[in-house]
Amino acid sequence: MNKTSIIGVFDEENALMAAVDQVKKEGIEINEIYTPYPMHEVLEAMGKKTRFTFAAFLYGFAGASGVLAFLYYTSVIDWPINYGGKPTNAFPSFIVVTIVLTILTVTLASLFTFSARAAIYPGKSFILPDKRSTDDKFVIVFDKSLLKGGAEKLNALLLEKGAVEVYEKELHPQN
């Protein structure tokens, strides 16, 4: 767990991206990048994809069919009530409840998925290499043990691309 990491700190997103491109060209593996706001260039560079939207679609599908099935069961099978001779399976008026509860299902299930997949939950112990990265710095982290060419070359590269600081640190989870 407590492996030494090399941490590069940048002031500007352009400098960070230049460094990321160069590092990738040299075949050095990036452990993680921390930014104060979402940057699509970083997400692309890290080669990360998410199947979140597909999961949301599945939740919606499950929610819609579940709610319709529930309405059908309660109104037609379990306790059919005669409202002035209208059909017990009042499909058009079931749609309203179905839409709203489907949206609710998708929202809640997506939130739990987010919480699980991004590992964001109350009381989590987290690793934050440089706490300025939630403020104004762009931080790139490398695993020192995975470096083949030695740390000096990487340090030089990061500084050349405009890193304001490069340092080594053992990362510990904090609360």
- In the complex with another protein, which residue's Cβ is closer, 128 or 146? 128
CB of 156 to another protein, least distance (A): 23
Beta carbons of 12 and 140 less than 8 angstroms apart: no
- In the complex with another protein, which residue's Cβ is closer, 63 or 154? 63
CB of 150 to another protein, least distance (A): 25
Residues that bind another protein (CB under 8 A): 12-14, 32-43, 46, 48, 50, 52-53, 56, 60, 70-71, 74-75, 78-79, 81, 83, 90, 93-94, 96-97, 99-101, 103-104, 106-108, 110-111, 114-115, 117-128, 131-136, 175
Q: Which of 24, 15, 28 is nearest to 143 (CA)?
A: 28
CB of 154 to another protein, least distance (A): 19
CB of 24 to another protein, least distance (A): 14
- In the complex with another protein, which residue's Cβ is closer, 145 or 174? 174
- In the complex with another protein, which residue's Cβ is closer, 67 or 157? 67
| DSSP tag of 78 | I
Q: For residues 175 and 161, what is the distance between their CA atoms, to the nearest angstrom?
A: 33
CB of 36 to another protein, least distance (A): 5
C-alpha distance across the termini of the chain, in Å: 16
| DSSP tag of 2 | -
- In the complex with another protein, which residue's Cβ is closer, 12 or 29? 12
Q: Which of 63, 171, 43 is nearest to 118 (CA)?
A: 43
3-class SS of residue 169 = strand
Token pair, residue 73, equals: 């069961």
Which phi-psi region, left, alpha or beta, contains residue 136 (left: φ > 0; alpha: ψ -120 to 50)?
alpha
